[in-house]
Amino acid sequence: MTRVNDAANSGEVGRPAAYDAALDVDSRPYTVPVPFGPEPLTVAEEEKRKVSLFDSFDEVNSIEPEHYARFDVKRGLRNSDGTGVIVGMTNISDVHGYRVEDGKKIADEGHLRLRGYDLYDLLGDDSPERRFAFEEVAYLLLVGSLPTESQLAQFVEVIDSQRELPDGFTASIIMHDVPPDIMNVLARSVLQLYTYDRFAEDRSPKHEVHTALSLMSRLPRIMVLTYYAIQSRFHHGSMIMHRFVPGQSTAETILSMLRPDRQFTPEEARMLDIMLCLHTEHGGGNNSTFTTRVLSSSDTDPYSAYSAAIGSLKGHRHGGANRQVLGMQQEIKDNVANWENDDEVAAYLARIVNKQAYDKTGLVYGMGHAVYTLSDPRAVILKRFAAKLAVGTEFEREFNLLQSIERLAPQVIEQEKGTKKDMCANVDMYSGFVYTMMGIPEELFTPLFACARTAGWAAHRFEEIGSGKRIIRPAYKTTGTPHQPYAPIEER
């Protein structure tokens, strides 16, 4: 009997940039550098003496790993082979990367289908006549079918009409006490927009669709305005506030507002459009989409659900993965003298695998995925468009280096670890490179992800409202701490 994997097994939960089932639980301490912003919080010695609440933090909050195996607890809702525990059903997308035959996992070419349409078909037309696809894909996700020309035109017109922000919103919400991370501003902006919606607690389909479209329209503008507010506050940069241009696509709007001179090429706009399409939806099991479903199942308002999803996507184990890839690639570029020499590239990859270089985790970021085995369709499509954008430019040599990393990494991992795994490049291998080619700052990588994924979050919220009908409430198993006799405070 053959069974294909479910969309609930979607990747992006855990560490999408370099997935290894054996390292499914990440025990590394995170040391995230903060390049700007306030100084780290310091605690006076007197306060430490009076309140030592954090002295036993690790001890109190640690659970022995053997408990999970003993009680067959699916930590992180993951099976032992890294696949996701199936917790729901969806008509929205199918993330396929392997087959299961007689209980055995068989590697297979990857595909991503949105409402039944293969991603290769949706983004297969790269002719000059084919302009933008993001709005068309968003329509497909939200409405359930591909639009006609007139339907798409009306859909784009509605999105275009919602870009205005409430009076005073930019000054009071975006520019006032702007924090150093754009994602936090996106989250608080979504929550604040609740206050401007007289029907925010309306759960009707009409209001749900209207709210989703308004956020799809406004988030790109909020993102760019926030970027410049941060540059102004923390880097003494200019506070550039371009008006949006009516009639432009989402990709064009972002580039037009981001570029100081507002100039961009049709090829750049098309490439950003492809990036938005590739990030708009990836199954119900990824962390931020599941967050949307969990909150929606409680019957909370859409603003609360989407804000929480943004908070999830900000996490370094989820939406921030492409920056990890870019960091590793930069280290390879800095330490390999001849990028065209396979032996030199392989030697440095061996150092990374043996935990001697980069972040010393042994992970080759950009390689491997929780679902995809032989190929990640998003990476395949992105690589094709990136090659066209890079050819004949200063980035062509770097693109060839990334291809070498993709080709050599599986061989190096097999040689150094002595195990052969089905491994392919994931979308993060090339996404940061593409953004860099277009001059898009690293600070915008994850916010762009959020702008694109809003359509996917909305589709899953709609489906949860229509079909879930039950609050998501999994169980937690107690470790069996023995009963403790209570003692009055004076006797402790």
Question: pLDDT digits over 366-411, tens only?
Answer: 999 888 999 999 999 999 989 988 999 999 999 999 999 999 999 9
Interval 234-246: pLDDT, tens: 999 999 999 999 9
Residues 345 and 453 in one domain: no
> Does a structural domain hold residue 218?
yes
* 304 shares its domain with 332: no
The residue out of 416, 436, 456 marking a domain boundary is 436
Q: Residue 447, CB half-sphere, CA atoms under 13 Å: how many? A: 25
Per residue in 149-177, pLDDT (tens digit) is 999 999 999 999 999 999 999 999 999 89
Q: How confident is the model at residue 480 (pLDDT cuts 50, 70, 90)?
A: confident
Asked if the structure places residue 374 within a domain, the reply is yes
Query: Which pLDDT does position 152 carry in this prediction?
Result: 96
Q: What pLDDT, on a 0 to 100 scale, did the predictor assign at position 320?
A: 80
CATH number of the domain enclosing 199: 1.10.580.10
pLDDT category of residue 316 using cuts at 50, 70 and 90: confident
* Contact yes or no for 275/434 (Cβ under 8 A): yes
Within this chain, do residues 290 and 333 fall inside the same structural domain, yes or no?
A: no
Which DSSP letter does residue 425 get? B
When divided into structural domains, the chain yields a total of 2
The DSSP element (H or E) to which 4 belongs, if any, is: strand 2-4
Neighbour count for residue 240 (Cβ, 10 Å) = 17
Which pLDDT does position 32 carry in this prediction? 43
pTM of structure:
0.87
Find the length of the chain.
492
d(CA 158, CA 199): 19
- Residue 99 domain-assigned? yes
Helices (H), 88-133: 119-122
Radius of gyration for the chain, computed over Cα atoms and rounded to the nearest angstrom: 24
Q: Quick one: 403 and 339 in the same domain?
A: yes
Same structural domain, 341 and 242: no
pLDDT tens by residue, 82-124: 778 899 999 999 999 988 888 788 899 999 999 999 999 999 8
73 strand-pairing partners: none
Residue 20 neighbours by CB distance under 10 Å? 20
CATH of the domain at 379: 1.10.230.10
In a domain, 28, yes or no: no
Are 215 and 190 within 8 A, CB to CB?
A: yes
Distance CA 333, CA 395 (A): 12
Q: Are residues 335 and 378 in the same domain?
A: yes
- With beta carbons less than 8 A apart as the criterion, state whether 396 and 390 touch: yes
Distance CA(90)–CA(284), nearest Å, equals 7
Q: DSSP character for 491?
A: G
Whether residue 239 is contained in a domain is answered as yes
Reading the block at residue 241, the tokens are 């506030």
In 3-state terms, what secondary structure has residue 84?
strand
Please name which of 238, 237, 225, 236 lies closest in space to residue 176, comparing C-alpha atoms. 225
pLDDT tens-digit readout, 258-305: 999 999 999 899 999 999 999 999 999 999 999 999 999 999 999 999
What is residue 104's three-state secondary structure? strand
Mean pLDDT computed over every residue of the chain: 89
Question: What residues form DSSP beta bridges with 101?
Answer: 2, 104
57 is a domain residue: no
Same-domain pairing of 432 and 453: no
> Residue 200: which residues within 8 A CB-CB, separation 6 or more?
194, 301, 302, 303
Q: Which helix (H) or strand (E) holds 3?
A: strand 2-4
Q: Are 306 and 330 found together in one domain?
A: no
Shared domain check, 353 and 252: no
* Residues 174 and 301 both lie in one domain: yes
Residue 312 lies in a domain: yes
Please give the pLDDT value at position 419. Answer: 82
In single-letter form, the type of residue at position 308 comes to: A
Domain identity same for 356 and 271 = no
Domain extent at residue 418: 322-436
pLDDT tens figures, 22-44: 333 444 443 444 444 455 666 67
- pLDDT tens figures, 343-355: 999 999 999 999 9
* Residue 406 to residues 113, 361, 380, Cα–Cα distance (Å): 24, 18, 12
**Structural contact between residues 300 and 338, judged by C-beta atoms closer than 8 angstroms:** no
Task: Please give the angle made by the CA atoms of 269, 286 and 362, to the nearest 5 degrees.
Answer: 90
Q: Is 17 within the bounds of a domain?
A: no
State how far the alpha carbon of 255 is from the alpha carbons of 221, 241, 469, in Å. Answer: 10, 13, 41
Looking at the structure, do residues 300 and 326 belong to the same domain, yes or no? no
Nearest CA-CA partner of 417 in 366, 341, 364: 364
DSSP secondary structure code for residue 469 in this structure:
-
pLDDT level of residue 19 (50, 70, 90 thresholds): very low
